Amino acid sequence: MSQTILRAKDLCKSFAHNGGQVHVLQHLNVEIYEKDFTVVMGASGSGKSTLLYALSGMDRATSGQVHFNGKDLVKMKEKELADLRSHDFGFIFQQMHLISNLTLLENITLPGYLNKGKSPAEVKARAEELLKQMSIYDVRTHLPSQVSGGEQQRCAIARAVIHEPTLLFADEPTGALNRKNTKEVLNLLTDLNKNGQSILMVTHDLRAALRASRILYLEDGNVIGELTLPPYDPAEEKSRETQVNAWLSSMKW
Amino acid sequence: MDTLILLRANMLRRKGTFVGIVLLMIIISMSMTAIMSVKTNVRESVDEAYEEADVADVFMDIPTKILPEDLLEKVRNHPMVDHVEVLEAVAITQTAFKDGQYANNWQVLPLDRHVVRMYNEDLSCYVDSIPEPSPDGFYVPLGIQTEFGCELGDTFTVKNSGCQWDLTVEGYIVEPICGASTIGSKTVYVARETFDKMLAESKEAEKNIENHLSVTMVMIYKADSCTLSDNKLARKLSQDTGLESYAYNASTRSQMKNYTVIYSDIVLSVMLAFISLLLGIVLIIMKHTISVSIDMNYTELGIMKAMGFTVKKIRILLSLQYVIAEAFGALVGTILSFPLIRALGNVFQPITGIKAKTNIVFFPSFPILILLLLMSCVFVFLVTRKAGQVSPVKAITGERGDVYFDKALTAPISGNALSLSLSFRQFTSSKRKYIAVTLIAAMLMFFMLTVNQMVNVMNSKSAMNAMGNMLAEVRVTDREDGISEEKVQEMQKIVESVAEIDAVYSTISQYISFDNVTMLSIVARDPNSFVISKGRAPLYDNEIAITDIIAEEFDLCIGDSVHIERRGMSGDYVISGIFLYISDVGHVTAMSYDAAKKLGTKEPYTVEFSLKDPKKSEAVYDALVAEYGDSMLIRYSETCWVDDTFTIAINAMQIMIYSFSIAFALVVVFMVCTKLFAQERRDIGIYKAVGFTSRKLRLLFAFRFMIVALFGSIIGTVLSFLFSNRLLEMLLRSMGVTTLTASHTFSSTLIPILLLLLSFFCFAFLASRKVKKVEVRELVIE
């Protein structure tokens, strides 16, 4: 059994809406394990993204605890959360969210520079290595607006892992991509996971879910099901798809 | 109705922007109304004081012993003269006050019909009636209080050769002709009985002492039929009678009015020029804001077009928002100008000697404000033409024009100085966004440096001397016998034994008739001590130097010949050069002692020593007093008697310009920062997501604005180096300054730069406080 790296206990998140309260997460308990490729699925409005943001410290839970390295994210101050993001967590957004006036290379190096563990030269070397790995080295001096959506997302992935985070969060990373780009991005994430990167990804895309080693199903703000899978093998994709589909059907997806 | 609803909604939604515009307009209208009102109030108060005191059109002070009665009679009978008032006065050439001895040019008169206003004890208003002073008391104009710092009850010992009287200050009166601190000559008033006693003693002394000065004041009133201006009348009378050439002081009503208000006019003109510049800044910031607003509200504007709003209607709607904000700011500013009018008027009271009115002057400030508002309406309407390019289809589909990022001249980000390099990158990659702010910073810097330069000129002995002012720390005067060349050399040796001498000025000032116009003439034993800007010094006894202003007014150039008269003696002199001199608003001539001798000028009676180290002036004074203290009047001042009042007014102006610059920087930075914040909200979320703290992001904003201020400062400094001198020469020409020699000093350049950088940095840091409120979850698409 892998070691737990992130644990949420009794997690609640509510939003004010039309004078009342909408309870998106309701006393949720979950653990994320080291080197796992965990995927969170669920119907629209089930609280997938809210869970991801609460677990990553990007948003504060209304109540409950999120433990990482013995510390509760819910109680952390802004600076501690910023440190966590620049050292331990990486984040990939659905809409890429690259800084539009920085080149791809600069977008990647930026969080690396914030991390004091490496010298600027080391960060740059690592960024160039990632650019090559993501096959966007040739467009490294381009601005985000000058490259394709797939290239932007690959750049976003490189930015998310430049500081070698303990846990990589991904919020529907293929949601804005076409079929070809989706496959490329998923392959990259799978490769990263094979190399030991822990990943927690939210998706409603079955093809993305197939890459997971563990799938959590969310409904009404709580985890109602869990499926553990062997490491992803492209040769066995068909049978894996059948298994996941069957499980999702049992979850009434 | 639809326009009104949208107008109200828009103004409420973007209240930050409109509050900024209102604040800027408050500053502008408040200061413009106050400056114009004070300028008019000062002039009107002076005019009223002249009317109340029934001041003559032409007046002159003539030594009684040489008063030519026949010429005076000619003046009386001149067809352009209504009547002539002749008053015998007691001349005062020296005073002792507290521990100091001073050479003066005062006249004592009995309290008469010309004195109609007297201040109360705290100088806050005038008293209803003026009592007769006590036998030992006298009334003095406010200029004396400003010069000596005297208080009611203080006693002056006033002297003329062979005579001496103790007089106690019993009140401050308005003496419109020469009551201003800018005018050297002063008239003081005593009781009739005291005056008769002083005049009798003075006449007695005159019999025994050759150098005893007695004075007759001649006041000439223009006939109703005379259509000439007072200056032209003075010239006509000089041509027809020659009386003026006997006067040691001669002037006209308009000249003296001009001397009275000259400093206030200069200071207020500089401030008005600054306010005009601020108005330019408001237009720049409005252009920037409108342009950014159209970009940011592209979708809304497109939807409005799709709903049937015409481009014209949209432009009117956009323009109205800004014009309403401007008009509101102008109105509030005008109301708020009342206290400023009072405060500014009080600053000039010690200079003019006359209490300025505190009225708000609606003409011309109100029509100018309305004109400015109309002009800005047109300007704003022109700027909104960008709204015409909005496409409803693009707006509704979310498709916009290409996002512009300037790749030229961008700088890479560096891991070693991340905040600074990232700020610089943010600035360089969207330079167009910062053009307006850079321009504003440049304009503010230009004006701050220009004012500093003006202050440098006024406070720098070397700058003033380079402009021909002949400032020196130690002054020796012997009006009775004059100071011979041998004596000057003797003194020079004594001074050299104590301190290093920078320059020695052995001079005498006198009034001459220059082509029938009375004019100050500076006579120097060494004509090379004059600062010559063209040609050469008047070395020979038939040569004269004139100022640029005289050359222009009389259409004269080097080599021309002019006719000079003084007390019945005359001669033709050749103009050898143009010289610089700040006195009598540039109406000054210069000649050598040899040339002046032909006009009956006595030995120069003043010797001044300019020292390389002003701190040694007291030691030099002590050494000279030990040798000549009994026979001569010796004074010293480390600051060379630079007029404190004017320095105070200049410093007040400097403070006001600095304060307004900082206030403007504050409002402009807040306005631009708010817009930038709205534009960059998504980026802020991304920065936070990758690990930037709010504080670090606010520092990025602050550094970025500091970089903008730095570029603006560089441009402003270059502009100041190129144009400040010219601007100041233009503004100070009325003071007689035609060539400005002051340069920027390291500290006077660096301090405003640092101040502007710091202001931009701090204000941007404060303005970006909303960064804290940006949540990373705003990046989430549910």
pLDDT tens-digit readout, B728-763: 888 777 666 777 766 778 888 999 999 999 999 999
Lowest pLDDT segment from B243-247, B303-307, B324-328: B303-307
Q: Among B378, B401, B424, where does a domain finish? A: B401
Do residues B100 and B186 both lie within one domain? yes
Is A14 in CB contact (< 8 Å) with chain B?
no
How many domains does chain A divide into?
2
- Per cent of chain B over pLDDT 90 is 32
Do residues A170 and A134 both lie within one domain? no
Do residues A82 and A110 both lie within one domain? no
Could you list the residue range(s) of the whole structural domain that residue A216 is in? 6-88+166-250
Q: Which of B704, B780, B781, B782 to mutate to test the interface with A (most CBs of A within 10 A)?
A: B780
Do residues A118 and A107 both lie within one domain? yes
Q: What is the pLDDT of residue A200?
A: 95
**Does B394 have pLDDT greater than 80?**
no
pLDDT digits (tens, 9 = 90+) for B450-505: 888 888 877 777 667 766 777 888 888 887 778 888 999 999 999 999 899 988 99
Do residues B390 and B519 both lie within one domain? no
Helix (H, G, I), strand (E, B), or coil: what is residue B592?
Answer: strand
Task: Please tell me which of A246-250, B17-21, B288-292, B626-630 the model is most confident about, judged by mean pLDDT.
Answer: A246-250
Instruction: Kindly report the average pLDDT of chain B as a whole number.
Output: 86
**β-bridge mates for residue A168, sequence order:** A90, A199
**β-bridge mates for residue B546, sequence order:** B578, B589
Do residues B356 and B424 both lie within one domain? no
Contact in structure between A191 and A130 (CB atoms under 8 Å): no
User: Which stretch of DSSP H or E encloses residue A25?
Assistant: strand A20-33
Q: Do A99 and B412 touch (CB under 8 A)?
A: no
Helix (H, G, I), strand (E, B), or coil: what is residue B99?
Answer: coil
Q: Could you tell me if residue B718 is inside a domain?
A: yes
Count of A-B CB contacts under 8 Å? 94
Q: What is the pLDDT of residue B644?
A: 62
Give the torsion through C-alpha atoms of B24, B26, B30, B32, to 10 deg: 40
Q: What is the pLDDT of residue B765?
A: 94
* Alpha carbons B142 and B179: distance in angstroms, whole number: 6
Joined tokens for residue B61: 């002070």
pLDDT band of B304, cuts 50, 70, 90: confident
pLDDT band of B224, cuts 50, 70, 90: very high
Q: Could you tell me if residue A93 is inside a domain?
A: no
Q: Do A97 and B405 touch (CB under 8 A)?
A: no
Do residues B479 and B582 both lie within one domain? yes
Joined tokens for residue B413: 């980000």
Selecting from B425, B687, B780 the residue whose C-beta is nearest the C-beta of A171 gives: B780
Q: At B525, which CATH number?
A: 2.40.40.20
- Per cent of chain A over pLDDT 90 is 54
User: Which stretch of DSSP H or E encloses residue B91?
Assistant: strand B81-97
Pick from B184, B92, B83, B170: which is nearest to B130 by CA? B170
- Per cent of chain B over pLDDT 70 is 95
Could you list the residue range(s) of the whole structural domain that residue B335 is in? 1-57+253-401
Pick from B267, B339, B278, B277: which is nearest to B42 by CA? B267
Amino acid letter, B697: L
Do residues B663 and B772 both lie within one domain? yes
Contact in structure between A66 and A51 (CB atoms under 8 Å): no
Do residues A213 and A105 both lie within one domain? no
Do residues B480 and B600 both lie within one domain? yes
Is A207 in CB contact (< 8 Å) with chain B?
no
Q: Could you tell me if residue B69 is inside a domain?
A: no
Q: What's the farthest any 2 CA atoms get from each other in chain B?
A: 110
Q: Among A164, A194, A222, where does a domain finish? A: A164
Q: What is the pLDDT of residue B149?
A: 86
Residues of B in contact with A95 (CB under 8 A): 779, 781
Do residues A62 and A152 both lie within one domain? no
Q: Could you tell me if residue A237 is inside a domain?
A: yes
What is the average pLDDT across B34-48?
A: 92
Do residues A134 and A154 both lie within one domain? yes
Joined tokens for residue B610: 């300019």
**β-bridge mates for residue A91, sequence order:** A169
Do residues B626 and B489 both lie within one domain? yes
CA A152 to chain CA centroid, Å, is: 16
Q: Among B597, B612, B641, where does a domain finish? A: B641
Do residues B309 and B379 both lie within one domain? yes
Joined tokens for residue B342: 């009072």
Residues of B in contact with A175 (CB under 8 A): 781
Q: Do B780 and A85 touch (CB under 8 A)?
A: no
Do residues B560 and B650 both lie within one domain? no
Q: Do A102 and B691 touch (CB under 8 A)?
A: no
**β-bridge mates for residue B165, sequence order:** B158
Residues of A in contact with B769 (CB under 8 A): none
Distance from A76 to chain B by nearest Cα, in Å? 13
Do residues A84 and A209 both lie within one domain? yes
Instruction: Write the Ramachandran bin of B600: left for phi over 0, alpha for psi from -120 to 50, otherwise beta.
Output: left
Pick from B725, B719, B723: which is nearest to B737 by CA? B725
Q: Could you tell me if residue B288 is inside a domain?
A: yes
* Alpha carbons B316 and B323: distance in angstroms, whole number: 10
Distance from A113 to chain B by nearest Cα, in Å? 5
Q: Among A164, A192, A215, where does a domain finish? A: A164
CB-side neighbour CA atoms (13 Å) of B334 = 16
Do residues B476 and B590 both lie within one domain? yes
Do residues B624 and B690 both lie within one domain? no
How many domains does chain B divide into?
4
**Does B648 have pLDDT greater than 80?**
no
Rounded to the nearest 10 degrees, the angle between the axes of helix B694-732 and helix B746-767 is 140
Distance from A128 to chain B by nearest Cα, in Å? 15
In this structure, the number of other CB atoms found within 10 A of the CB of residue B1 comes to 5
pLDDT digits (tens, 9 = 90+) for B307-324: 778 888 888 888 888 889
Helix (H, G, I), strand (E, B), or coil: what is residue A212?
Answer: coil
Give the torsion through C-alpha atoms of A203, A209, A213, A218, to 10 deg: 50
Q: φ, ψ for residue A30 (rounded to 5)?
A: -155, 150
Contact in structure between B716 and B443 (CB atoms under 8 Å): yes
Q: Could you tell me if residue A1 is inside a domain?
A: no
Q: What is the pLDDT of residue B245?
A: 83
Contact in structure between B103 and B477 (CB atoms under 8 Å): yes
Q: Among A164, A195, A220, where does a domain finish? A: A164
Do residues A73 and A175 both lie within one domain? yes
Q: Among B641, B675, B697, where does a domain finish? A: B641
Q: Could you tell me if residue B449 is inside a domain?
A: yes
Joined tokens for residue B41: 């109030």
Do residues A189 and A232 both lie within one domain? yes
Helices (H) and strands (E) in chain A, counts: 8, 10
Q: At A67, which CATH number?
A: 3.40.50.300
Question: What ipTM goes with this model?
Answer: 0.86
Do residues A71 and A103 both lie within one domain? no
Do residues A104 and A119 both lie within one domain? yes
Is B412 in CB contact (< 8 Å) with chain A?
yes
* Alpha carbons A11 and A29: distance in angstroms, whole number: 6
pLDDT digits (tens, 9 = 90+) for B522-581: 999 999 988 888 999 999 999 999 998 899 888 999 999 999 988 888 899 999 999 988
Rounded to whole angstroms, what are the CA distances from B160 to B167, B250, B626? 14, 21, 23
Q: Could you tell me if residue B237 is inside a domain?
A: no
Q: Could you tell me if residue A48 is inside a domain?
A: yes
Contacts of B621 (CB under 8 A, 6+ apart): B474, B634, B635, B636
Q: Could you tell me if residue B74 is inside a domain?
A: no
Do residues A49 and A143 both lie within one domain? no
**Does B706 have pLDDT greater than 60?**
yes
User: Which stretch of DSSP H or E encloses residue B275?
Assistant: helix B253-296
Residues of A in contact with B781 (CB under 8 A): 94-95, 172, 175
